[in-house]
A and B are shown apart, each in its own frame.
Chain A
């Protein structure tokens, strides 16, 4: 079994999206997530990485294991220095919006994971952090 290390994936093109989600799936499996949960995690990573490519051009996705008082899980941070999000309220509004369609698909990503946090500043960039815990 591999040692669980932090993984940083540079996101610059659509092939990096595939790489990020595959590495995410591997890490999730190594941590002990079920196949279903690993798929949820990989899907969330795919959406977040795609947002980076579409709206910021480039950025990075950090995959980490997290341990906190008897719980173990995975943390994913999607960071970019893109244009930032004008209205967080709008993008988080639940209307089943999907990437490129009516928005960034963030409500969907939120449903896939256990914890969700977003920080964004206009012209500075955006960071989305999501967590999922082992059941």
Chain B
């Protein structure tokens, strides 16, 4: 299942649906890099509100996405981690260090805007 990626000004927003397989995640990674390059985006939001489980693979892939997008000079922020999912993640030992997180889309955009301003 392909993850929809929308362009919002200088940012990209990828909204993940539930039931995301490993292959879907890898496909998302490639699609985001391609689009960041194509649109010269300054930031990416990955909205995981609908994700009911975040395991080690999802966490690793999100970290990969963040790092690869940083190589293009853009920032990534993960938004919408559910309370239960956050709880499970820390129990599993997945803290996503080095990856920016925010509560929701609004906060995510505020974060990216702040970062983009700082850069100038």
Contacts and interface: CB of A to CB of B under 8 A. Distances in A.
Nearest to B94: A98
Contacts of B53: 21, 25, 39, 42-43, 46
Contacts, number: 80
Interface centre among B55, B87, B91 (most CB of A within 10 A): B55
Interface stretch (A62-70, A71-79, A102-110, A117-125): A102-110
Nearest to B25: A14
B85 interface: yes
A17 interface: yes
A43 B57 contact: no
Contacts of B23: 14-15
Nearest to B22: A14
A36 interface: yes
B34 interface: no
Contacts of A35: 84
Contacts of B52: 25, 39, 42
A100 B57 CA distance: 8
A99 B88 contact: no
Nearest to A39: B84
Looking at chain A's contact residues, the main secondary structure is helix
A10 interface: no
B55 A99 contact: yes
Interface centre among A14, A25, A109 (most CB of B within 10 A): A14
A61 to B, nearest CB: 14
A128 interface: no
Which size class do A's interface residues fall under?
20 to 34
A111 interface: yes
A81 interface: no
Contacts of A9: none
Contact of A40 (B60, B82, B83, B91): B91
Interface in B61-99: 82-85, 87-89, 91-94
Given A39-B52, A43-B55, A108 B21 contact: no
B110 to A, nearest CB: 27
Contacts of A17: 21-22
B92 A47 contact: yes
A133 B91 CA distance: 17
A39 B85 contact: yes
A46 B69 CA distance: 27
A47 B56 contact: yes
